[in-house]
Amino acid sequence: MRRLQALALATAALIALPLAAQPVPAPDAGGTTPPVPLLWQVSDADNSLYLLGSFHLLKSTDYPVSADVEAAFSDAERLVFEVAPAELTDPSTGMKMLTASGFEDGRTLSEVLDAKQLAGLDALLEPTGQSAAMLEAFEPWFVNLSIVIGMSQRLGFSGEEGLDQYLIRRSAEAGKPASGLETIDEQLASLDNMPMDEQVSALVELIDDPKGLKTDLLRMHDAWRAGDVDAMHALAVDEMRAKTPESYRLVNVARNDAWVPQLRAMLDAPGEDDVLVVVGAMHLLGEDGVVEKLRAEGLDVVRVCSACEAP
């Protein structure tokens, strides 16, 4: 998996920004088998947290959701996302995105890529009607992720069909409160603070091997639909952690570390409110994921997966 493609599992803001309120997708008339959810539950004496791994770009054929997800949604009195839905749709968020995606030191894209790399980027962008010159003001992480999102859309994926967006709409229709684990400023800072050398190397890897992007995206989607934790970890975590370690720390580990105390506080809060927490699937996987971090605090976190149970 090309390193920054994993950001599609870790950052909801970029994908969600262009979205206005949309109707909830109707269940697929063809009887599509629901995806096997990446869903965990942790409980105390009086309430439960459900932790659901989202894929931020999906298709209408990825619905309906499984009975396990429906049950968690029904049980929850409120939902929590990476960023509060109200903040994602705030008019100021778009300007914050533009500010974060640009060079703070006055440099341009052509100053961090060489002539061969720029030519490769032009070739990659040509079918879309864009050019490297049109992206001159943007940092490599933004260019990289924009290419990934564009390719995803050409493959039929859509941010408005993403699981988090779907559940944001469901929560609004059901009158269930929805909040966030971090602000848009905090999420954008995790992207903007990635080291420039790691941003460049990840973009160059994409430029040098653009044909592999389609395969990678489809493999990751298949693994998510199958609820395959090991495959998802290999695709979304391993290479990014090995090749761009500081970027990985910023977009995954540091954010997970900031979320765990909040999740623990939700569980420890008085009352009997259950909470459904929906975050990019990457945040729940492996030793750096929220699930293992909660287990390390002595909590019993169990996977909820009817489809995983032996007949």
Which residue is listed with tokens 């008085």?
A: 270
| Alpha carbon of residue 135 to chain centroid | 23
Residue 5 CB coordination number (10 Å): 26
Sign of CA dihedral 205, 206, 212, 215: positive
- Give 133-149 pLDDT, tens digit per residue: 999 999 999 999 989 88
How does DSSP classify residue 58?
B
**pLDDT beneath 50, residues of the chain:** 1, 19-30, 311
What gap in Å lies between CA 127 and CA 311, rounded to an integer? 48
Q: Residue 1 contacts by C-beta under 8 Å, 6 or more apart in sequence?
A: 216, 219, 220, 234, 235, 236, 238, 239, 240
- Please report which helix (H) or strand (E) contains residue 172, including its range: helix 163-174
Amino acid at 176: K
How does DSSP classify residue 34?
P
With DSSP H G I counted as helix, E B as strand and the rest as coil, what are the percentages for the chain, rounded to 5? 60, 10, 30
Peptide bond into 64 cis (omega under 30): yes
Return the closest-CA partner of residue 170 out of 23, 276, 17. 23
Model pTM score? 0.92
Return the closest-CA partner of residue 84 out of 185, 189, 182. 182
Residue 173 CB coordination number (10 Å): 10
How does DSSP classify residue 236?
I
pLDDT of residue 40: 99
